[in-house]
């Protein structure tokens, strides 16, 4: 089994542990799974670009935080369920929604990124991208209850910050305003406040760009400046963007 195959096994096993319904088990909890830590340790020891001592520490910490990761993802599932009337059940979201798959992989990768793990977090989010079309950098900071609806073509950059209860539709880009030099230090991607809705194909660029709480960003808009809270942004015609405060 090569590195990528081991990585894919690690991701799928982790998600199976977090959500046993993926295995056809309705009433299993995290503590019901046998030999979880041992299997995780084996996978991490064979995938992380660290010393064996650090691998063991990271692996044990990862397994211990699985209940917290599960709690985070349950909030994401609830946000998707409340945000998409087409979802008939939460199990449908777990089993069939690419937005949830991408967010779940991001949260696994982000945890490992925060532990100083090299390469593997990026490989995890690239795995999610290949199956969902959603590109979330593992270093991005994302709050609770994220809903990505449809999702194909969503890009969330490395230094993006997203608050709680945000809903993002397909084709949205949270990107850098320009291509920096490799050694550029600082924030390059926008900050999105709480309770924001960003409709399809909106492009929001720049590290100094802040979208305030409770904003609604219309489809196909191009934003490179901050938007005050409680605003709506949309195109009145093909050339002018209009900001309306509630």
Tokens of 149: 């609806």
The topology (CATH level 3) of 1-134 is 1.10.3130
In CATH terms, the superfamily for domain 140-246 is Hexapeptide repeat proteins (2.160.10.10)
Q: What is the mean pLDDT of the chain?
A: 87
Percent of the chain with pLDDT over 70: 81
Question: Residues of CATH 2.160.10.10 domain(s) within the chain?
Answer: 140-246
Burial class (CB in 10 A: 0-12, 13-18, 19+), 244: exposed
Q: Across the strands, what pairs with 217?
A: 198, 233
Tokens of 1: 């089994």
Single pTM value for the model: 0.90
Question: Residues of CATH 1.10.3130.10 domain(s) within the chain?
Answer: 1-134
Strand order in the sheet with 203-205: 135-136, 155-156, 173-175, 203-205, 222-223
Tokens of 221: 């808009």
pLDDT of residue 50: 58
Q: Across the strands, what pairs with 242?
A: 234
Would you say residue 35 has pLDDT above 60?
A: no
pLDDT of residue 128: 96
Whole-angstrom distance, CA of residue 20 vs CA of residue 28: 6
- Structure confidence by residue, pLDDT tens digits, 49-81: 555 557 778 888 888 888 999 999 999 999 999
- Structure confidence by residue, pLDDT tens digits, 104-148: 999 999 999 998 887 889 999 999 999 999 999 999 999 999 999
């Amino acid at each position: 089994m090569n590195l990528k195959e081991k990585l894919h096994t690690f991701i799928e096993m982790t998600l199976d542990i977090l959500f046993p319904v993926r295995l056809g088990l309705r009433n299993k909890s995290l503590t019901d799974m046998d030999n979880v830590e041992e299997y995780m340790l084996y996978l991490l020891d064979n995938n992380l670009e660290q010393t064996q001592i650090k691998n063991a520490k990271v692996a044990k910490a990862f397994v211990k935080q699985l209940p917290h990761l599960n709690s985070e993802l349950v909030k994401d599932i609830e946000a998707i369920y409340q945000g998409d009337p087409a979802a008939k059940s939460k199990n449908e979201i777990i089993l069939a929604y690419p937005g949830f798959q991408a967010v779940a992989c991001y949260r696994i990768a982000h945890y490992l990124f925060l532990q100083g793990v090299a390469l593997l977090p990026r490989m995890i989010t690239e795995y999610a991208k290949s199956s969902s079309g959603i590109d979330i950098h593992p270093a991005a900071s994302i709050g609770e209850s994220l809903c990505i609806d449809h999702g194909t073509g969503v890009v969330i950059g490395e230094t993006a910050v997203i608050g709680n209860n945000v809903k993002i539709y397909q084709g949205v880009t949270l990107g850098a305003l320009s291509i920096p030099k490799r050694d550029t230090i600082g924030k390059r991607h926008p900050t999105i406040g709480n309770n924001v809705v960003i409709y399809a194909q909106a492009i929001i660029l720049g590290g100094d760009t802040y979208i305030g709480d409770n904003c609604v960003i219309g489809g196909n808009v191009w934003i490179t400046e901050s938007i005050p809270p409680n605003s709506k942004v949309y195109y009145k015609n093909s050339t002018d963007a209009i900001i309306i405060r509630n």
